[in-house]
Structures are given as structure tokens and as C-alpha cells.
Homo-oligomer: A and B are copies of this chain.
Amino acid sequence: MLTAKLIDNVWATRKADTLSGYKFMLAEVIGGGSQDGQRMIVVDNISAGIGDRVIVCTGSSARRMLGDDNLPVDAVVVGIIDEDCQFG
């Protein structure tokens, strides 16, 4: 999984019918190395908010978070890193 910081909401009125009601957010990778600063769009269903540092799961495993294997989603928030957790 990746560590990322949620930096904004993303709105897409026209989208796959199956994605209606899901919350899309822009996340920025905060892990070190060459991926640092890379941005991606993630689905959040555990009420994460802008500014939160989160754990993002990608690929087919992301669908496991949403309980529906038919969703066209490849990145989801699976955890919110504790505020007092210093790491790295």
C-alpha cells in the first residue's frame, strides 16, 4: 500500500453509473523515493478528510474494500494513519 495525503475533492458529474454516490478524492503520495509527490484519485468510504494521511490500496485489491467486485475502481483508502504516528 502507499502512504498519501488527501489534498482535495474531485467532482465528476458524468461517470460510470456504478460509481454514483462514491466519494472521489485527490491524494498525493508522501512516501519517499521516486513516487513522492505523485497524485492519484482514490475512493474513500471510511470518512477520511482533506489533510488526512491515509493508507491507499491499489489494483484488484482495492475492489475488496468496497464489497463489490464489479466496480471500476483501482485505488481506495483502507486506513487513516493516526495523527500522533511519526514514521519514516
Q: Could you list which residues of chain A lie within 8 angstroms of chain B, going by C-beta atoms?
A: 1-3, 7-16, 18-19, 24, 26, 28-29, 31-42, 46, 55, 57-65, 69-76, 78-82, 85, 87-88
Contacts and interface: CB of A to CB of B under 8 A. Distances in A.
Q: How many copies of the chain does the oligomer comprise? A: 5
A38 B12 CA distance: 22
B88 A55 contact: no
A24 B81 CA distance: 11
A9 to B, nearest CB: 7
A70 B64 CA distance: 5
A35 B3 CA distance: 16
Contact of A31 (B24, B38, B88): B38
Nearest to A68: B64
